[in-house]
Amino acid sequence: PPIRVIREQAKSRKSLFFMFFAGITSLVVFSLVLSENLMLSILVLAAIIVLCILLYTVVWLLLRSLKKLKNRLSFYIRSPSQSALQITALALGLSLITVLSVLRTDLLERWQQQLPEGTPNQFVYGLPPFDLKAFEQQLKQHGWQSTPLYPNIRGRLLAKNDVPFSEEAIKQNNSLRRELNLTQSNQLPNDNVITKGQAQFNGVGQVSVESKTAESLGIQIGDKLTFGLPEGNLQAKVVNFRSVEWESFSPNFFFIFSPKTLDENAGSYLGSFYVPKQDQPKMITIIQQFSNTVFIDVDRILDEVKRLMNVLVKIVTVLAALVGFSGMAFIPDFASMLWAICLGMG
């Protein structure tokens, strides 16, 4: 009956509105989660919306022009707005497949090519203090460039100025919910820049804090921080803030203490070094000699990331192709149904 057809059309409009609303909402949330930057998410979404509007407008104008020709093709364009919407969605899907196919691991490879020659590609973690000299001798013997080997002691930040952090602060800051890698050194890493406070340590019991961590925890110069270590609690005075380049492939720390503040023999050592490709087989001997130490091969991790990206691109391409083919298969069926209705109504 006609009334049933009208009701079905009303239902389809409601479902179409719900589909668009759910899609846009999920896209906004997904962008915010990935970028963690509201302004960047807004700009990207605005660019996508502008692109969709331009593409839809061009297709709609083209279909209206074709409809005016009054030929057999014009029958399939009885609703230029709906057809333009379908073509726009299909074009965006095909463009996504094209972008994924072209890029794939291109960004990762370009990023690797931009890294300076000699950028560390191996990390050493958990090196026992009694193996320190032997390991440094091996690095020197092979001529491998390395960062300083930093003493590493696990500890928790417990209080500021003898006042424990609140439960709310602990929930909001991941650095308060887990153990941190703590170190001591008279010289800061090369890519660390002092943003506030004195440039050098001038005594025992002082600590340098990463600037973003200090901001999130409300730490000020001169505050006294309490840390929980395996051998007991330790207090240190904040003397400076520093910015950290976390992408530098060098050891970085939220908190760096002045020399002789920590017991170096209470933990282990960590660092990074560069092994040329021709020397990669020598790493087998190094790993066997220092069996109690963890070695992390950055090149292998990046190769695995590339492999996973290729797999994901293939999966997304197949899914997008299936969606596109299903949409294309639906259009002739819809047109045939419309033709049958028109014939039935005379």
Is residue 113 a contact partner of residue 337, using CB atoms and an 8 Å limit?
Answer: no
Greatest C-alpha distance within the chain: 97
Distance CA 185, CA 165 (A): 27
pLDDT tens digits along 16-62: 677 777 777 877 787 777 667 778 888 888 888 888 889 888 888 88
How crowded is residue 26: how many other Cβ atoms within 10 Å of its Cβ? 10
Q: How far is CA 257 from CA 180, 246, 314, 330, in A?
A: 13, 19, 48, 67
The confidence score (pLDDT) of residue 93 equals 73
Q: In the chain, count H helices and then E strands.
A: 10, 11
The confidence score (pLDDT) of residue 65 equals 79
Identity of the amino acid at 333:
D
Distance CA 146, CA 119 (A): 9
pLDDT tens digits along 335-344: 565 555 555 6
The confidence score (pLDDT) of residue 118 equals 75
The confidence score (pLDDT) of residue 301 equals 83
The confidence score (pLDDT) of residue 269 equals 94
Q: Which residues of 83-96 are buried (b: 16+ CB within 10 A; e: fewer)?
A: bbbbbbbebebeee
**Which positions ≥6 away from 134 have C-beta within 8 Å?**
289, 290
Q: Record the pTM.
A: 0.66
Is residue 50 a contact partner of residue 42, using CB atoms and an 8 Å limit?
Answer: no
Is residue 239 a contact partner of residue 208, using CB atoms and an 8 Å limit?
Answer: yes
Ranges in the chain, pLDDT < 50: 1-8
The confidence score (pLDDT) of residue 324 equals 63
